[in-house]
Structure 1
């Protein structure tokens, strides 16, 4: 029967002639205790598979390691995790509208990129349109700083359009007036 690395002991691996030596057995047990500590810490070296379980300060170091250009330590932990997960892919597609769209999805949760020909702008310009109610002026400024790390260098952002819609009561009324115009003249 095979054992996993978490279950194996050094005495199980010794040849038969050394299994009876008390000094070797004592040394093996001493090594086993240190080895079990090491084996239990192996999971801490797995970074990417455990990204959803890492703490904020560890994420800051991982973001530096993966060169997440638009990373900010003040972001919430879920946004940090999403940025780190997407960083390798974004580095592969930098300079494309898709890279900007991923950044929009990460920071604004929803939104689109409108290129200049869709809204009648000038060539090599684009704008970002979002209807997320949580987007504020500060978040838009944060987005602009991050945008410069993923967009094409020749392209220029015209602006971030934040669409707002409100539910309001609408009252309307109408009247129909029908009448006949009569004119009377006195005849002499």
Structure 2
């Protein structure tokens, strides 16, 4: 995951815009995401963060932010990304879409598009399957199929989802195979 962190370091100066609008981080109950997200907030005093997750995840997220002295720039909002997402400049979906079938992904991505401030972007970190998948990718694909009826996707399949939600891919950065950071903007 070091390459993923390098990607964020390379792109940190590109945003957020001067409005100090928050970003939304999905899936905060994952300790890795929580630690990395809060570390990013600590390093960049101009950032604010909102995490959208189920109500039971909020107290732990708020406590972790308070322990780092970030509670003035961090909010944990209970909610459901199938209905509404808080507005932001950068919406991060990390290991979210592989949990869902295409029709649910379209709803999540369309809600992200609707929640973006002008000039905002959606950043997706997921396993991306290539033409000849090797390593953990095929195992994760099989696991997602049997556990949730969902799947890992190819870059072309992500492009189809993005297009169906009114977004277009502007970058895809491999970070640690098979993980890729995909950036998308509204069409």
Higher share in strand: 2
Provide TM-score, normalisation by structure 1. 0.23
Provide TM-score, normalisation by structure 2. 0.23
Which has more radius of gyration? 1
The structure whose RCO (Cα within 8 Å, separation 6+) is larger is 2
